[in-house]
Amino acid sequence: GKYPVESVRMMSQIGDITEREFPYGYFRDIRQKMVSKTQSVTEAISSASCEVAETINAKAIISTTMSGYTARQIAKHRPPIAVLAVTPSTVTRRRLALVWGVECLLVDDFSTTDGMLKQTVRSLAQYELKRDDKLVITAGIPFGASGQTNLIQVHEIR
């Protein structure tokens, strides 16, 4: 149309207001009550990670992921804190760039829990985390396979 810049600016304002005012918490609670007993382990951990993060006032939920599935499952709950996906896959990083509320960090391939945790915390330096800040981390053990999320860990910055 005649006013493309103004149109984009207005759409951006509408999006900002909607994201800020929409009652995500209310709908998250309803979704929790409606969740069937047949949910997958990954879905259960994704839901639980949001609950744990809110309960302990965590600074972020970190999803170590090969395919991005767990990060997408976490994002669908619209947690009110940062969701950071940590992956060694550039393909997964590009795919997650389109997911609401997920920021993706590319790391070297990890093969152990300790290695994953060290790389993850090191990659978070840009987020200005402080001593005693808490993070909720999800992962799949053993590493390297998609769809294996089976771990939640609360990590405190030291």
Q: Which two tokens stand for residue 102?
A: 């997920």
> Options 3.40.1380.20, 3.30.930.10, 3.40.50.2300, 3.10.20.30; which CATH number does 41-156 get?
3.40.1380.20
Domain ranges of the chain: 1-34, 41-156
Q: Is residue 104 within 8 Å of 96, Cβ to Cβ? A: yes
Q: For each of the chain's 158 residues, which pLDDT tens digit applies?
A: 899 999 999 999 998 888 778 777 777 666 666 665 557 888 889 989 999 999 999 999 999 988 999 999 999 888 989 999 999 899 999 999 999 899 999 988 777 777 777 788 788 877 888 889 999 999 888 776 667 788 899 999 88
Q: Is residue 137 within 8 Å of 48, Cβ to Cβ? A: no
Distances in Å between the alpha carbon of 157 and those of 10, 32, 110, 122? 40, 29, 20, 11
Q: Comparing C-alpha atoms, which of 60, 107, 58 is closest to residue 84?
A: 60
Specify the residue for token string 């969740």.
Answer: 35
